[in-house]
């Protein structure tokens, strides 16, 4: 790829996206062909926030490529607890690794950190900002299940603080996608994201209810209401549990509707959907390994 750092979905062109997804399809079809392609490569993991899928899938991805990880560990067990700055932390860890993966609670942290290092830095989530590798695996799942042509997608839940939503909405402007945003008025897309989407030529259709648009959708992308992002607990309580779907909800949906979720879920998708053909969220999570293998393969290849 032509990017040293992967900071935002906004930096990815349609060609960049297709390159990663095509490579991911090759990985999924024949993972053994990619074993040991990056033998002895080390990936530095700096996670300042909790993570299950992102951290474990990056670990699995680099190990399946023949490499390994060096892990900062928890904030409590690191020098961050002693007051070390993010800039100093990344400058130290770049000396131990061929590429870095950073998750941090502050929006803009990945961009800032990338200015202090010479090895590739991949943003694994910066507060309510961006999460580009989640977007790539989301796009891979969408392409496999519904395709990119004449796509109608509904994105529902926390659109204000949801970094997965912000990244995905930007990336979908590169394909033939009609986007509908469903949320409480208090959790609609931030003005900055809305402005960027307009600049990219997207038509923004906002709704407070799913029912009026459900039958039109090829994909329904559900997100949880993120308690940890709310500055005011009363604001969270006012909307918690407001957007939930179950099998009865989907009776009005198309038979081939794809339901996705970046996980973890709380109560926004009932477990009675898990066994239906609509449910793609666990496969979506599993797609994190071939997609991140593909991205690391391309990024590390560019370092040779």
Catalytic residue among 23, 38, 54, 261: 54
CB 168 within 8 A of CB 155: yes
> 101: closest CA among 295, 303, 302?
295
Q: How far is CA 24 from the centre of its chain?
A: 15
* CA R_g for the chain: 19
Catalytic residue among 10, 37, 53, 254: 53
Q: How far apart are CA 293 and CA 184, in angstroms?
A: 36
Q: Which two structure tokens, joined as six digits, stand for 286? A: 């599993």
Neighbours of 150 (CB within 10 A): 11
CB 161 within 8 A of CB 190: no
Q: Where are the alpha helices (DSSP H) in 70-210?
A: 86-93, 109-114, 132-145, 163-172, 191-199
CB 185 within 8 A of CB 192: no
Is there a catalytic annotation at residue 53?
yes
Catalytic residue among 131, 160, 261, 280: 131
**Backbone φ and ψ of 27, nearest 5°:** -60, -45
Catalytic residue among 5, 64, 103, 170: 103
Q: How far apart are CA 88 and CA 69, in angstroms?
A: 20
Is there a catalytic annotation at residue 54?
yes
Q: How far apart are CA 43 and CA 101, in angstroms?
A: 7
Annotated catalytic residues are 53-54, 82, 103, 131
């Amino acid at each position: 790829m032509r990017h040293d750092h992967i900071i935002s979905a906004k930096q990815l062109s349609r060609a960049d996206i297709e390159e990663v997804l095509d490579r991911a399809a090759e990985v999924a079809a024949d993972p053994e062909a990619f074993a040991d392609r990056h033998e002895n490569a080390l990936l530095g993991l700096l996670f300042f926030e909790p993570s299950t899928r992102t951290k474990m899938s990056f670990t699995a991805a680099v190990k399946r490529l023949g490499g390994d990880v060096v892990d900062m560990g928890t904030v409590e067990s690191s020098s961050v607890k002693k007051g070390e700055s993010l800039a100093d932390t990344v400058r130290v860890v770049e000396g131990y690794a061929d590429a870095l993966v950073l998750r941090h609670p502050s929006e803009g942290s990945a961009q800032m950190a990338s200015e202090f290092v010479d090895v590739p830095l991949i943003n694994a989530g910066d507060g309510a900002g961006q999460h580009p590798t989640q977007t790539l695996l989301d796009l891979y799942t969408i392409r496999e299940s519904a395709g990119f042509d004449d796509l109608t997608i509904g994105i529902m839940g926390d659109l204000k603080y949801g970094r997965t939503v912000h990244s995905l909405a930007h990336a979908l402007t590169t394909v033939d996608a009609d986007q509908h945003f469903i949320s409480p008025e208090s959790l609609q897309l931030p003005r900055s994201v809305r402005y960027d989407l307009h600049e990219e030529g997207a038509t923004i259709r906002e709704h407070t209810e799913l029912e009026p648009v459900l039958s039109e959708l090829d994909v329904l992308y559900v997100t949880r209401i993120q308690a940890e992002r709310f500055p005011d607990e009363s604001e969270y309580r006012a909307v918690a549990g407001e957007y939930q779907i179950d099998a009865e909800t989907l009776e009005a949906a198309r038979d081939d509707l794809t339901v996705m979720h970046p996980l973890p879920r709380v109560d926004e998708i009932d477990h009675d959907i898990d066994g239906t053909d609509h449910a793609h969220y666990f496969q979506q999570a599993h797609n994190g390994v071939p997609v991140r293998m593909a991205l690391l393969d391309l990024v590390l290849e560019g370092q040779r």
